[in-house]
Structure 1
Amino acid sequence: MSDNEHEAKMARPRMASGALFFDEQGRVMMLEPTYKDYREIPGGYVEAGESPLQACVREVREELGISPEIGRLLAVDWAPSPAEGDKVLYLFDGGVLPPELRDRIQLQVGEIGAYDFHALEAVANLTIPRLARRIEAAAAARTEGQVAYLEHGRAAELGGPKSAPSHAVDLG
């Protein structure tokens, strides 16, 4: 196989990065974007030359107007979609946001309408299924001191089949 043929087969995934923030009761922060009909977490796409952690810090600053310390990686999710192709999503631990930091939040005008903290059990009713699974897995990894490797928001079967059919895409 030539270098050009090999390069043509290499994945070039879009990457996105976000943070899970919690309040003192262990509830997770969910944003109300003005351009979506479901809740999101703070975060967005990784730009060229930017690491997933740098993107997370930048997106939190842009969306919330604060720069809290971002902690360790909680989850990596391979979640391709027919519309966007290969995607790899990173979730980092934003930790507990103290009230004094929450008081300084200035939401990104025109993109974020509001935010609130919700019990993990309520997340599935607030957002799309694959994001809800990703949040739940990342929160569990946080509690267990682990990093979750996910595919479509689900724990991957490590040591399982070496490849899946290219048409096997679960959007749920």
Structure 2
Amino acid sequence: MPEDSTADDRPLYERDPGAWHAHLAEGNAKQPRKRVGADVLIRNEQGHVLLVNPRYKPDWDLPGGMAEANEPPHLAAQRELREELGIELSVGRLLVVDWVAPHGPWDDSLMFVFDGGSLRSGEVANLRLADGELLAFTFSPLDEAKELLRPYVWHRLASAISTPATECRYLLGGLTSRQ
């Protein structure tokens, strides 16, 4: 007989809710956690892509950032846009989920890319460096973005741009996964 059942076959969560809660708490404490980041694909009226230049890394990036504890990725993206660029934007559909392998001192992570739509010229004029994390922002044509971004971020962006309206892509290090 399985460890979780009794003669009446009721599962542990029905027989002993306290023991079930303790079992879940133990699993939560022991299982690994994933770092989660959320970026946004935003374009201007010319179709150029919004990129940001963070103070804390050597390359340009997509706007967004890391989720806080228990924060949904789409809300993390919206918070980061507000904090860093002073923009209130409800992000659209999920375009890409990218698993990033451990590198340097960092564990692996999951990066989400959401559709931020296009900003009109008046909205672009309201963008500002809001919290000191960014040195600059720019709207770049794709050929320029390819030169400014790390290769795996470029692949993530290119995949997000080309994702059909009815799909979400799963990537491994910016590259299409082979499931």
TM (normalized to structure 1)? 0.82
Shift of 1:7: 6.9
**Is 2:111 aligned against 1:111?**
no
* CA RMSD, 1 decimal: 2.0
Residue from 16, 19, 22 that aligns with 2:43: 22
1:90-109 to structure 2, matched below 5 A, reads: 90-109=112-131
Q: Which structure has the larger Rg over C-alpha atoms?
A: 2
Q: Which runs of 5+ in 2 are unaligned?
A: 1-22
Q: Which amino acid aligns with 2:123?
A: L
What is the aligned residue count? 154
Residue 89 of structure 2 aligns to a residue whose secondary structure is coil
- Separation in structure 2 between the aligned mates of residue 56 and residue 110 of structure 1, nearest angstrom: 17
* Structure 1: tracts of 5 or more residues without a match: 159-172
Aligned partner of 2:76 among 42, 47, 55: 55
Shift in alpha-carbon separation, 1:81–1:118, aligned structure 2, 3 A: same
Percent identity of paired positions between Structure 1 and Structure 2:
34
TM-score when scaled to structure 2?
0.79
2:61 maps to which of 32, 37, 40: 40
The more displaced of 112-121 and 17-26 is: 112-121
In structure 1, what is the Cα distance between the partners aligned to 2:120 and 2:169? Answer: 26
